[in-house]
Amino acid sequence: MDIWSWMCNLPNSENWPESDLPLVYELASLKDGRGNISKSIQVKAERALGSNTETQVAFSVCLNGFVDSNPSKTLWVSHSCSLSNNNQNNAFFLCPLLVQLVQEIVTRAPTAHGNTYISPYNVLKIKPEPISHLLNEMNFYSPKSFSNFFNLVFLIRLFWLCVSDAPAEVGSLYFKTLIAPNLHTLLSCKQVVQIFLVSIGADVELGFMRTLGYMLAKWLILRDVSLGLQLLITPTPSYGFSYATEAHGLWILKGYAPVLSMTRTCFNGQDERHTILEAKESVLRYALAHQQLEVVVQLAYTLGFYEGRIRVNVHVDNVRINVVKLGFNKNDIGEYVKERHFPSRIQLWVGPELGANYVTSLSLGRSTDNPQREVETHKIVKGKFGKSKVPLVKATARTSTRTKTRNWRFDQDSEGNTAIIDAILCDNTTGNEVATWKPSSNGDGGLKNALQRRYSGGGRAFNKSGSLVFAGDEFREGFGWRLSKEMEGSVLKWRLGGKIWLSYWPNDVKSPYFETRCVDWCEEVDLPLIRVN
């Protein structure tokens, strides 16, 4: 699917056909027994009245042959776009269309269940300036990547049209012929998506990425239960997305991943494709499938310039992990609303590019945890004096042990010149790690019961919405590198990455199901070694 190239190559007003028939791009089609197209999804470009120097064009998405009473049905119509006679490439004149598509995608974004504050996506207004700048810059420097980006945006907008506003057969055709063969290619335009997300702001970014996550969740569910897609025999690629930026002394890593696309490392039972599930179990799995992992990592760095060396110090400013249930309030699934995955292990790493020879040393700031135990002993002597038969002194002995327990264990490690931070969720009674836990054959559920109803009570390991926040107070000790003085004035590439494990245990419902999944990201950020006076 390359709808962008077709739009960019539409004829201008001088070459536009004199016929009133619209120009047609066929997105997907079904053929009858004779090989003729019987049903199709089309995009039409229709010329409107304009001046002598411009051609006004409106685009529409139409269905043909799906409804017997209405052979051709229009699902959507765009605002008019101006095509110039003096411009051989129409890309710069399609900016209003891209703004409209993004606006309509964000407006219909699903909400995140469990949050006390839900972003009002329906009142967000998209500013055209950042999108216009992105279009002008990326379409010039990387036209293929921008073409994939526009096609991805158009595909997301089609999701609501074909799945929500059309007959079921249209949605089936959309998943089979548009998403399945095109998704991997369209998601390859990472550079353009990163610039787009940074420029539109955090609120619009959430609305856009949650819509994409909801679309991917629906497709992954259909892929796993429908043999017609014939994708079960292939390995599951990761559909997570991440990017990293540098701004105002911070390195910021953001990551998104539909839970179903994360690699499963631990689970109970056999492969579900060969297991018949009970009705309640199926509803539980369906509810869990509409989840997305959202991660924000902020590392603060400072520079010190000394005689003969440069010091780079880094400490954790903020780590925020949220597992959101994507959907709409009217579609709540009763008792399963509070069932969700939770973070069970977080591993972050940061360091210079591989093979860098300008780093002379790495210093870590946290010792390996060696917990202390306080033992209190109190003794009283028991005895008697003289010939008295009644003891004048009674003695007792008492021993008490005091220990401090926490849900999370924090470690630091290194690999070459890369610093590694590990946060591991443990049972504060036994010390067992949650991410690798499996029930014993005798049905011991001690660890499982320890974190049941984990979103309530004063000793909970997560907040009530199921998310997790680590601020700088949990990582007081940072780490630092010594660099060669000759590197001053240069801008280095630094690596920043993370690996997140999510686990699921039943919270309020009774079910034997449990699993752990993980996803990892690695990005590059800039490190400007510039002295600021």
**300 or 282: whose pLDDT is higher?**
300
Chain segment 398-443, per-residue pLDDT in tens: 666 665 667 888 888 889 899 999 999 887 666 778 888 776 544 4
Per mean pLDDT, which range of 11-20, 152-161, 361-370, 373-382 is the poorest?
Answer: 373-382
Res 442: pLDDT: 45
Q: Is 364:492 a contact under the CB 8 Å cutoff?
A: no
Instruction: Name the nearest CA neighbour of 341 among 506, 215, 114.
Output: 506
Give backbone dihedrals phi and psi of 112, rounded to 5 degrees, phi first.
-105, 115
pLDDT level of residue 229 (50, 70, 90 thresholds): very low
Pairing state between β 479-484 and 309-327: antiparallel
Res 230: pLDDT: 43
What is the separation, in whole angstroms, between the first and last Cα of the chain? Answer: 52
Give backbone dihedrals phi and psi of 428, rounded to 5 degrees, phi first.
-75, 0
pLDDT level of residue 499 (50, 70, 90 thresholds): very high
Average pLDDT, the chain: 80
CA atoms of 291 and 269, how far apart (whole Å): 22
Residue 71 has pLDDT above 90, yes or no: no
**Helix, strand, coil percentages, rounded to 5, for the chain:** 30, 35, 35
The arithmetic mean of pLDDT across residues 156-173, rounded, is: 88
Instruction: Name the nearest CA neighbour of 45 among 67, 92, 71, 13.
Output: 13
Residue 68 has pLDDT above 80, yes or no: no
**53 or 246: whose pLDDT is higher?**
246
**131 or 16: whose pLDDT is higher?**
131
Instruction: Name the nearest CA neighbour of 255 among 500, 6, 29.
Output: 500
Tokens of 37: 């197209």
CA atoms of 277 and 142, how far apart (whole Å): 48
Long-range contacts of 180-185 (CB under 8 A, 24+ apart): 180/219, 180/223, 180/229, 180/231, 182/1, 182/151, 182/155, 183/155, 183/219, 183/239, 184/237, 185/148
Asked whether the CA dihedral 413, 418, 419, 424 is positive or negative, the reply is negative
Instruction: Name the nearest CA neighbour of 178 among 45, 41, 32.
Output: 41
Residue 231 has pLDDT above 50, yes or no: no
Longest C-alpha distance within the chain, in Å? 130
Chain segment 202-219, per-residue pLDDT in tens: 889 999 999 999 999 998
Stated as kind and residue range, the H or E segment containing 453 is none
> Best-predicted range by mean pLDDT among 296-310, 414-428, 451-465?
296-310
Chain segment 316-356, per-residue pLDDT in tens: 999 999 998 887 665 555 677 778 899 999 999 999 988 88
pLDDT level of residue 382 (50, 70, 90 thresholds): low
Does the pTM surpass 0.75? The reply is: yes
% of the chain residues with pLDDT over 70: 76
Q: Is 410:368 a contact under the CB 8 Å cutoff?
A: no
Residue 310 has pLDDT above 70, yes or no: yes
**426 or 482: whose pLDDT is higher?**
482
Chain segment 190-202, per-residue pLDDT in tens: 889 999 999 998 8
Residue 21 has pLDDT above 60, yes or no: yes
Instruction: Name the nearest CA neighbour of 324 among 109, 113, 108.
Output: 113
Res 150: pLDDT: 92
Give me the residues paired with residue 266 across strands. Answer: 516
The arithmetic mean of pLDDT across residues 475-487, rounded, is: 86
Res 116: pLDDT: 47
Q: Is 312:301 a contact under the CB 8 Å cutoff?
A: yes
Res 454: pLDDT: 72
Residue 284 has pLDDT above 50, yes or no: yes
Q: Is 322:346 a contact under the CB 8 Å cutoff?
A: no
Write down the residue that tokens 């004199």 correspond to.
Answer: 18
CA atoms of 246 and 252, how far apart (whole Å): 6
Work out the number of other CB atoms within 10 angstroms of the CB of residue 266.
Answer: 16
Res 458: pLDDT: 66
Per mean pLDDT, which range of 140-144, 269-273, 425-429 is the poorest?
Answer: 269-273
pLDDT level of residue 482 (50, 70, 90 thresholds): very high
Q: Is 424:409 a contact under the CB 8 Å cutoff?
A: yes
Tokens of 360: 């002379």
Residue 127 has pLDDT above 90, yes or no: no
